[in-house]
Amino acid sequence: MQLLYPIIIINYKTYLETLGEKGLYLAKIAEKISLEYGVCIAIAPQFVDIRKIAEEVSIPIFAQHIDPYPPGAYTGHITPESIKEAGACGSLINHSERRLRIDVIEEIVSRCKNLDLKICICANNTLVAKALSVLEPEMIAVEPPELIGTGISVSKAKPEIIINSVNAIKTISPNVHVLCGAGITEGLDVKKAIEFGSEGILVASAIAKSKDPEKLLREFAIALTK
Ligand code: G3P
């Protein structure tokens, strides 16, 4: 599945509102809006739903986390091979809610390059984003943890983190795509993020908790194309 930029990635996290049939419904909305506006919308469903959703929609699907281990005796771990086989094209890793050591991040990125899986590494600030850029993942998403889930967007509250991260990452690894997230709530947040140099957004609660996710996602897609 090809990734195009700018991109919207919806992280399902572990919300009840994104689980099972509800998650599939949201995936179908994402596919519909993506086709309507010609915008790339990817989703990161809950693990148990990846295969079901991948069988029913044609949009990029990411896991929310993976472990570096190879197939074998590693009880309870999620291998890159398993998410690929289930239909994912890549994974988020090092989310603030699921942080990893840098040597583990390096191992995952390297394993996934060999498997043609795209990795989006999350970073909690500009310095960490800069350090991670040497690994040359497909994407780095900078998300100040203190704004996650607050409804106060990174693009309004901390624009400098977007601008500085874009500059720092692109200086080291120009091919890495830079995204931002945390508190993205309305179209204006998306528009500002793009103006500050971001190549997309990572969003969760605003969509998961919305009474009308289709309307909100449409607003995001329009903001991305303007
Ligand atoms: O991965 C996206 C995320 O951490 C942002 O969460 O709820 O602030 O959109 P939220």
Count other Cβ atoms within 10 Å, centred on residue 131. Answer: 14
For residue 225, pLDDT over 90 is answered with no
CA distances from 211 to 12, 17, 26 (A): 15, 10, 12
Report the pLDDT value the prediction gives residue 177, as an integer from 0 to 100: 98
pLDDT in tens, 80-89: 999 999 999 9
Secondary structure of 124-141 in HEC code, one letter for each residue:
CCHHHHHHHHHHCCCEEE
Please identify, by atom number, the ligand 1 atom nearest to the C-alpha of residue 181: 5
For residue 1, pLDDT over 80 is answered with no
At CB < 8 A and 24+ separation, what contacts does 170-175 make?
172/130, 172/133, 172/134, 173/133, 173/134, 173/136, 175/136
Q: How far is CA 43 from the centre of its chain?
A: 7
**Full set of structural domains in the chain with CATH:** 7-225 (3.20.20.70)
Please identify, by atom number, the ligand 1 atom nearest to the C-alpha of residue 92: 1
The edge-to-edge listing of strands for the beta sheet with 62-63 is 40-44, 7-11, 200-203, 177-181, 139-142, 118-123, 90-93, 62-63
pLDDT in tens, 157-199: 999 999 999 999 999 999 999 999 999 999 999 999 999 999 9
Q: DSSP letter for 22, please.
A: H
Query: Tokens standing for 196?
Result: 């500050």
Beta carbon of 8 within 6 Å of any ligand 1 atom: no
Band (pLDDT 50/70/90 cuts) for residue 51 is very high
| Mean pLDDT, the chain, integer | 97
Pocket test for ligand 1, best of 8, 9, 13, 94 (most atoms within 8 A of CB): 13
Query: Tokens standing for 188?
Result: 């204006």
Report the pLDDT value the prediction gives residue 226, as an integer from 0 to 100: 76
Range list of β-strands (E), the chain: 7-11, 40-44, 62-63, 90-93, 118-123, 139-142, 177-181, 200-203
Q: How far apart are CA 1 and CA 60, in angstroms?
A: 6
Query: Tokens standing for 136?
Result: 């040359």
For residue 65, pLDDT over 90 is answered with yes
pTM over 0.85: yes
Helical axes 187-195 vs 213-225, angle rounded to 10° = 30
For residue 76, pLDDT over 80 is answered with yes
Report the pLDDT value the prediction gives residue 216, as an integer from 0 to 100: 98
Band (pLDDT 50/70/90 cuts) for residue 143 is very high
Q: Is 143 a catalytic residue?
A: yes
Report the pLDDT value the prediction gives residue 2, as an integer from 0 to 100: 87
pLDDT in tens, 104-125: 999 999 999 999 999 999 999 9
152 labelled binding-site residue = no
